[in-house]
Amino acid sequence: MITLEVSLGERSYPIHIGTGLLDQTELFRPHVRGQHAVIVTNETVGPLYAARVQASLAALGKTVRTVTLPDGEAFKQWETLNLIFGALLSAGADRKTTLIALGGGVVGDMTGFAAACYMRGVPFVQVPTTLLSQVDSSVGGKTGINHPLGKNMIGAFHQPNAVIADIDTLRTLPERELAAGLAEVIKHGAMADAEYFGWIERNIRALNACDPDIMALAVKRSCEIKAAVVAQDEREGGLRAMLNFGHTFGHAIEAGMGYGEWLHGEAVGCGMVMAADLSHRLGFIDIETRARVVQLIRAAMLPVVAPELGTDRYIELMKVDKKAEAGSIKFILLRKLGAAFITTVPDPDLRATLQHAVLRPPTEAPVA
């Protein structure tokens, strides 16, 4: 087992990465201090892993209740969130009740938001079961839900007590979900660590095959990068925005297509292709660097051609973004591999990238 720390003073917490962690009762003991625990999971993950987490908590003498949510990004909204609140209220949950987020990014975000809101804040533990959630969304305390006009626009910062990432859970991921997680792995290399980006290029076949040793190294390095950024900028005052490389375009794709049509990682992967194109168009990176980004996204089995939403529609959607200020869209671009920065861009260059992004060369495969 590998253990990292997110350093936030008195609110610091560990990230445990390894195999067989769901059954390690002692990992949960320091982080579930009250008598009651509520596992929040979904219809897909619950049948696979909820009983094991229940057993670990019961071995500590905890009273455990499970809330099962519908599965999918389309359900990351108020009605589903109220299922969690209803379960907590009907169970008489108090301020010492600990919520356990057992699932991917949607479950983690909603459980964290519920924990931030219920009684104005109760503890929660992240137990991520997808690659995307293990390398990104479970770390850092961003919680929230979607609105039809914008992704993750309603939420709160609420740090978990711990993150327990069991690599074994990745074995049950569909290929599409695994690829979606690789988008966030690639993102960390592209925006923060050129050497890591090169390592991903050399090991992409093993990552596609979910080799446990290689995957554990990818989860570790991605978590190290994110934890370091969060420790310096917990509430996204500046530096943390760099973690959104590819996300301004990606969130527009998700909202424009309808949440759930494209997985978050698929949209972010294509968004990184678009951000690399814009970085090249503005003269920050050379054509070889742009090509490396596109080739790695393609090698990870992610789409590299954007859906045709219309240029004006893309711009309208991107204006509803947490980084936007006074209607001005902010983009995370690359100065070089491993060095991201935030900026506004000239409208003609943005429109040129958007138009180029939806063109499919004759040799290009259809969008995944």
DSSP 3-state of 150: strand
pLDDT digits (tens, 9 = 90+) for 39-70: 999 999 999 999 999 999 999 999 999 999 99
pLDDT digits (tens, 9 = 90+) for 114-126: 999 999 999 999 9
Q: Which residues pair with 102 in a beta bridge?
A: 127
* Max intra-chain CA distance, the chain: 62
Catalytically active residues, by annotation: 120, 142, 184, 226, 236, 240, 244, 247, 251, 264
For residue 310, give both structure tokens: 């219309």
What is the average per-residue pLDDT within 233-259? Answer: 94
Q: Which residues contact 71 (CB under 8 A, 6 or more apart)?
A: 42, 43, 44, 45, 106
For residue 180, give both structure tokens: 């979606």
What is the average per-residue pLDDT within 161-168? Answer: 98
Rounded CA-CA distance 305/356 in Å is 9
Q: Is the pLDDT of residue 365 over 80?
A: no
DSSP string, 36-84: EEEEEEETTTIIIIIHHHHHHHHTTT-EEEEEEEPPSGGG-SHHHHHHH
pLDDT digits (tens, 9 = 90+) for 281-304: 999 999 999 999 999 999 999 999
Q: Is the pLDDT of residue 363 over 90?
A: no
| Beta-strand relationship, 331-336 and 339-343 | antiparallel
